[in-house]
Chains A and B, each alone.
Chain A
């Protein structure tokens, strides 16, 4: 039972929960269980994340690694391994069958063609042109299988002058290329250098967000191509650059430069276009403060006890507060005030203000900036099924971020987290190529699998 005060609309909450609680996911059908997906991505978590999304939706997903395993298996903080697999791949091997195949060999490429001939989707992340050189690019495969959807994820895309570069795709380099890293981070204070403040530099996001965005756009493209294929019968080639995909999420910086010649610079944890909107320090950490309406900003000033001193009575519009110099001015005034409280105290003050403040029920958004450790132990997310561990036959009980969305019809779900290198060679090669144990031993002997 819930131990919080139920909402007025609790009946709706209970109703929709009864329809989409992830605890019942396994009773429901899967959206993509009629599809076969081959993921031959190399070194790139963008490809793996893309195929994870399709595999979570039920596609039979065959992950092809070179004999010995893909480099992504080694991605792990401090090199930590769980059996043969690093912690990162322990998230993105989910729901996939794992086979090995050496695409450097003629026989390997022939086997790949046979698999692709039966597949609906191929995902690859080699440098542009590599699959064509091997004779297993879209041109060749589409002759065998005109319905095939062939998605490439790469650093620079499949055409354009920079596509001739033969480099692999890495998240941190894509973040740098996207222009988003440039405008994220603390700024240097006057007279200081990068040696004085080595943290005041263009700063990338901690997670592999360029890879995730690249993979997610590719997945959206694949699903849209699938829609088109169901109408026309035609497959097609899809080209995604991780850097471009992430750059697309940079809002107006391009337009701003084009129109005004203005380069968007780092602005710390404030926001160039919004007020009140940013991170502010507290005595035990920090909070996000949000108040995008004038009254919310005034309410916040009232909470700090600065209504008269700062002249809140006189304010009639939020507009001037978005100006750069005003943001700095008020940030400097707010910081010492919020630092008097703990994050919890400030949150409580905001809740209390909503009941008794002079502008009640208006109150600012106050959200504690928590560590992912706190997130993982927050009952709200646990009850919503976000961190339900997967009971994996090989790797044991593994905590995964679950269920990116909840749905009444065909929710995504995680069945297993990963498979050892080549663990499914026997099953997949028998099912799709008719290779029994004798043939497989021969291929192993010659290094093809």
Chain B
């Protein structure tokens, strides 16, 4: 343990989040949009999620196989913690005006709509810049704001980005069709990179007072993570092809089937790691084999195949946990392939507070991931999960915009703001007592 992180979890709530004092407005849907602002919310920013009443975000309806959690879409819960929920109709000019009032008091605004839609609603970049010249405005979508695919108004989503970037092509086994990831990687990675962009822009604003417009394309974003693929194709004049679980740039690095029918991943490219692995296999002599003498030599196709075959045969005589333990003892990287059960049961994740039980006023206790960046002076935190559509209207209008109850009632009457529809995922869970979690509301 590093000394600076002693008692980190114990003292988490005696320290602020790093983004304390920032206000973020989001008008986003599905996953690519909301995932990013959640990261800011977990780091302490005040994030106001604007939805259209009374249905709100469509993600509220999505469920794996046949499972809702207390009538709520579990992915909606995973990507929208710590936010305030306001339902505002942006088709109405009064709704647009309230949106602009919020922008005047905000630092960052996030969208994931088709190009030019915000212009139609009078909340495009040029409109909002007039209200707040320091605003940092990000628009995330499939193909950006200009270019052929954007102008063809092509819809996009995570699977399309995996297909169009070449990511899926190089993520299967040789001779097998391209494989889609078991997670929505382009949505999440794009969301994460969007916040890197936003936080860098914030630093610039601090120095100059100037905001800016940022556009993030789902497909382009994931291409950046494909790294060596591009110069390889330039140099060889041909495509990169899939290689299964083998790492094409590091040797040995692969996933192996073990005696207990589980799987273990191993990596041992450095001289000390490779020697350790050879010892663990009881084949110390391999470390001196001319085919395997250094990393670059080992990477030659025939040598790589030879050493991986030797390791594969050995791995089938060991349990996956045995291999993990041998890695600890002999100094090479190794892990059993973890499942959802491991995420839940593993002590290390709990002691780090990375996996924790949340105590939510509406949704009760459930287990969730925390933010994966531990910060010694400003620990990010997860505090609450999602809310029904329009749940925090009163709080935002009263605290942020100073409206009184009569004015708020009028906005309801005109349909400018609204509450949830009486249906799954929009209304509060059935066991809610009608009070817990409500802020500044009778």
**Nearest CB to that of A259 among chain B residues?**
B69
Q: Mark A200-226, 1 if CB is under 8 A from B, else 0.
A: 011111111100110011111101111
At the interface, yes or no: B299 with Cβ under 8 Å from chain A? yes
Would you call B375 and A178 a contact (CB within 8 A)? no
Would you call A170 and B1 a contact (CB within 8 A)? no
Would you call B169 and A369 a contact (CB within 8 A)? yes
Distance A75 CA – B270 CA, assembled complex (angstroms):
11
Chain B stretch 120-178: residues in CB contact (< 8 A) with chain A: 124-125, 143-153, 155-157, 159-160, 162-173, 175-178
Would you call A78 and B378 a contact (CB within 8 A)? no
Interface residue from A162, A194, A208, A285 paired with B348 (Cβ < 8 Å): A162
Comparing B84-92, B243-251, B390-398, B408-416, the segment that makes contact with chain A is B243-251
Number of A-B pairs, beta carbon distance below 8 Å:
618
Distance A9 CA – B152 CA, assembled complex (angstroms):
11
Chain B residues with Cβ below 8 Å from A76 are: 228, 249, 296, 299
Would you call A398 and B166 a contact (CB within 8 A)? no
Chain B stretch 227-253: residues in CB contact (< 8 A) with chain A: 227-235, 238-245, 247-250, 253
Would you call A272 and B378 a contact (CB within 8 A)? no
Distance A9 CA – B118 CA, assembled complex (angstroms):
12
At the interface, yes or no: A34 with Cβ under 8 Å from chain B? yes
At the interface, yes or no: A445 with Cβ under 8 Å from chain B? no
Most buried by B among A16, A180, A271: A16
Known contacts A78-B300, A163-B1, A249-B189: A182-B227 contact under CB 8 Å? no
**Nearest CB to that of B303 among chain A residues?**
A79
Would you call B335 and A400 a contact (CB within 8 A)? no
Chain A residues with Cβ below 8 Å from B185 are: 205, 209, 249
Distance A323 CA – B215 CA, assembled complex (angstroms):
36
Chain A residues with Cβ below 8 Å from B229 are: 207, 372
**Nearest CB to that of A351 among chain B residues?**
B152
Report, as a range, how many residues of chain B touch the other chain: 35 or more
Interface residue from A29, A165, A290 paired with B328 (Cβ < 8 Å): A165
Known contacts A179-B343, A406-B144: A223-B166 contact under CB 8 Å? no
Chain B residues with Cβ below 8 Å from A160 are: 1, 348-349, 351-352
Interface residue from A7, A152, A162, A371 paired with B169 (Cβ < 8 Å): A371
Would you call B355 and A254 a contact (CB within 8 A)? yes
Interface residue from B188, B332, B340 paired with A257 (Cβ < 8 Å): B340
Known contacts A155-B333, A224-B19: A184-B367 contact under CB 8 Å? no
Q: Mark B394-430, 1 if CB is under 8 A from A, else 0.
A: 0000000000000000000000000000000000000
Chain B residues with Cβ below 8 Å from A278 are: 159, 180
Comparing B46-54, B58-66, B96-104, the segment that makes contact with chain A is B58-66
At the interface, yes or no: A349 with Cβ under 8 Å from chain B? no
Comparing B190-198, B279-287, B431-439, the segment that makes contact with chain A is B190-198
Would you call A43 and B270 a contact (CB within 8 A)? yes
Would you call B351 and A161 a contact (CB within 8 A)? yes
Comparing A105-113, A299-307, A382-390, the segment that makes contact with chain B is A382-390
Most buried by B among A92, A236, A375: A375
Interface residue from B165, B211, B351 paired with A372 (Cβ < 8 Å): B165
Chain A residues with Cβ below 8 Å from B241 are: 371
Distance A257 CA – B74 CA, assembled complex (angstroms):
12
Please name 28 pairs of A and B residues whose Cβ atoms are closer than 8 Å in the assembled complex, sorted by A.
A13-B147, A74-B295, A77-B299, A87-B232, A159-B5, A172-B254, A176-B264, A176-B337, A180-B183, A183-B183, A201-B255, A206-B242, A239-B374, A244-B352, A248-B372, A249-B188, A257-B343, A268-B179, A285-B177, A285-B178, A290-B159, A365-B156, A369-B168, A369-B178, A372-B226, A401-B224, A407-B214, A410-B212
Not counting A158-B374, A204-B265, a sample of 10 additional A-B residue pairs whose C-beta atoms are within 8 angstroms of each other reads A20-B215, A79-B296, A80-B235, A180-B182, A255-B69, A255-B74, A271-B180, A279-B168, A368-B164, A412-B200
